[in-house]
Amino acid sequence: MAIGNRKVTRRAFLASSAAAGGLLVVPRHVLGGEGQVAPSETFGSALVGCGGRGPGTHGDLKEKHGLATHCLAACDVDLNRAKGFQKRMGPSCEVYQDFRRVVERNDIEVVAIGTPPHWHALISIACMEAGKDVVCEKPATRFVAEGRALADAEKRYGRIYQVGTYGRFGMSQNESNRTMRKLMKSGLLKPCKGRYVSRGGLKVKQWSGRLDVAPQPVPEHLDWDLYCGPSPVKPFHPPRHGGTHRWYWDYEGGGLGDMGHHKFDPITWLFGKDDTAPVKIEAHAPPPHPEVSGMWGWFKLTYGDGFEMVVESGEWGESAGLTSVRPSTDDLSEGDKKKLDAMPDPKPCVGFGEAIKTRQKAGGHAEAAHRTACIMHLANVAIRTGRTIHFDPVKEVVIGDEEANRLVHPPMRAPWHL
């Protein structure tokens, strides 16, 4: 719908008409009701990144988040993938190769992002700046500095963001888990003697990269320069495009980057670490290749309050030899126990669909997504540098290590920038 030179969504038009107190006569299907979804409750949507998980991410808008959507755009640097998704959505779904054409459209209100991670932050930020809500596949970002820019954009533009992982939602439904979060968020455990040990499930061997693939001509249906985007332009060969993009530091962080968000997001919620980051990161791994991810044994994160997270790959035969230690109120004085009882109990996480409709912050919001992503990114920094790093969770820089900081905030290829 257009008013003058300005495009207006049906939802905004109905809301403004009601606010003006004017008489608005509309057909029955516009009002909704049994068997009907009112257009004012239907969201114009788009998918950016139509291969792999992308179609499922868009489908989750309805199936997982309960949103009625009308898909208006299919966007992918690979035109064949975009056209394939368009066929599923119908003729009103336009095909684009450049995500900026999606951002320009005022009738698109919700964007699902299923690109490789080196594009997640920039596209999410552009969409939020344009007034769109975003659900983005994991991991939220490729490196630490992107996460801070992402969280700042969510706050600045007042948009709803949800990273595409949902373990914290089930975690937050359990009363004993909410009690643990309350204890950890209280700050009363000084120092915290807790430790969480995780083993396996990160596809480390599966996403250890190959170096024996020869370059090939770029397919005509693929915009290779736009695919590389903020990352360096490298010669095209098929594994760099598709699921095996996870092999390459240019686009992701190996199995840790692929599966880490699923693994750690509920843990950062449970132990109250979704507004901070570890201060010390140690890793046990062989020297990595500068281009591709490889095997590693384990890493240990230590937070400012003393809490430890130990992660073993379970795929390399090396173990940290540590066990979990659950934090407990037994470590509190009687006075501190009374303080804890007086504190409000945490509430279950709000889902993306409810967050859009009520404008509450979604459970997997950008700040929480950023802090979870820091676990993977900082562990990879320790693995890639081959040494223990010390991190300032407020300034979000590695202390006294410029090589490590170049991995925390690597340069982007012009004209792309945060």
Give the SS3 label for residue 351.
Answer: coil
**pLDDT: is 4 or 113 the higher one?**
113
pLDDT in tens, 244-270: 999 999 999 999 999 999 999 999 999
Domain CATH code at residue 330: 3.30.360
pLDDT at 210: 86
Give the chain's domain count: 2
pLDDT at 38: 54
Q: Write 304-308 long-range contacts (CB < 8 A, 24+).
A: 304/276, 304/279, 304/393, 305/187, 305/189, 305/190, 305/191, 305/192, 306/189, 306/190, 306/191, 306/192, 306/193, 306/194, 307/184, 307/192, 307/194, 307/195, 307/196, 307/271, 307/273, 308/194, 308/195, 308/196
Which one of 167, 200, 232 terminates a domain? Answer: 167
Asked whether residue 275 is assigned to any structural domain, the reply reads yes
- Whole-Å CA distances, 42 to 1, 68, 180, 235, 277: 14, 5, 38, 43, 38
**What percentage of the chain carries pLDDT values higher than 90?**
88
Residue owning tokens 């963001």: 161
pLDDT at 9: 52
Q: Which two tokens stand for residue 58?
A: 């868009």
pLDDT in tens, 351-397: 999 999 999 999 999 999 999 999 999 999 999 999 999 999 999 99
Domain CATH code at residue 23: 3.40.50.720
Q: Which two tokens stand for residue 170?
A: 């089930």
Distance, CA of 299 to CA of 291 (rounded, Å): 21
pLDDT in tens, 179-231: 999 999 999 998 999 999 999 999 999 999 988 889 999 999 999 999 999 99
Single pTM value for the model: 0.90
Provide the β-strand partners of residue 42: 68
Give yes or no: residues 194 and 158 share one domain: no
Give yes or no: residues 178 and 280 share one domain: yes
Asked whether residue 317 is assigned to any structural domain, the reply reads yes
For range 288-300, the mean pLDDT = 95
Q: Angle 79-89/54-63 helices, nearest 10 degrees?
A: 30
Q: How many CB atoms lie within 10 A of CB 232?
A: 10
Which secondary structure element, helix H or strand E, spans residue 282, and what is its range?
A: strand 280-284
Asked whether residue 231 is assigned to any structural domain, the reply reads no
Residue owning tokens 């300034």: 395
For range 314-328, the mean pLDDT = 93
Which domain, by its residues, includes 191? Answer: 174-210+240-347+366-408
Asked whether residue 48 is assigned to any structural domain, the reply reads yes
Going edge to edge, which strands form the sheet with 195-199?
195-199, 308-312, 298-302, 280-284, 389-392, 397-398
